[in-house]
Amino acid sequence: MLEGGKKGPSHRGYLWAYHAPVDGLVFFDYRTGRDQSGPKDILKDYSGVIQTDAYQAYQSLFATNNGIEHYYCMAHIRRKFDEAVKYDKGRATWAVDTIAKLYKIEKEIREAETLLTESQIVEKRMTEASPILNELKEWMLQEYPKVLPSSPIGKAIAYALPLMDNRSGGPHEVLYITWGSATG
């Protein structure tokens, strides 16, 4: 990063992004390091749901904060499979297409002719998304032993599979069904 008016070399910095979609708020926090001190400072008094990618610093940070429910982002999982398409088209395309079914459910919810109630949304996700998430997880469990762990598809599965369960051991679909984490 270059600092205005300061001579000398640039330095590495990190922008931590925070987004509260319900409130329409976005906040950026600049830090010189990528450790958990930034999120730890910003979120010290927060309780509620946090959705992130699988960066390791989040796992230990949120595991020690009982007021935070930590879940992962389906868009990050999808991107890993999308990046693997050119190396293992059959498997990666199956995963991307399966995740697309989740996105379709969210689109139907957003574009419903009449506004759905929260309970109707939860019911739709329970009946339609839960089986898809279960199928995706089972597929990964079956396919992972068949691929090279260092291959792009192996890396995509290795990234996604542990994220299918939240930190308390419950199914990832709990967040998806309640909060719609597959949107994005």
| Structure confidence at residue 95 (pLDDT) | 97
- Residue 9: both structure tokens together: 């070399």
Query: In the predicted model, is pLDDT for residue 167 greater than 60?
Result: no
Residue pLDDT, tens place only, 1-49: 556 666 767 778 888 888 887 788 899 999 888 888 888 888 888 888 7
The span from the CA of 39 to the CA of 53, in Å, is 14
Which residue reads 């319900």 in tokens?
A: 22
Residue pLDDT, tens place only, 107-165: 898 888 888 888 888 888 888 988 898 899 999 999 999 999 999 999 999 999 888 86
Nearest to 77 by CA among 98, 58, 63, 59: 98
Note the Cα 144 to chain centre separation in Å: 20
The span from the CA of 76 to the CA of 130, in Å, is 19
Nearest to 136 by CA among 83, 80, 86: 80
Which residue reads 């293992």 in tokens?
A: 88
| Structure confidence at residue 57 (pLDDT) | 75
- Residue 77: both structure tokens together: 């999982």
Residue pLDDT, tens place only, 60-100: 777 776 788 777 788 889 999 999 999 999 999 999 999 99
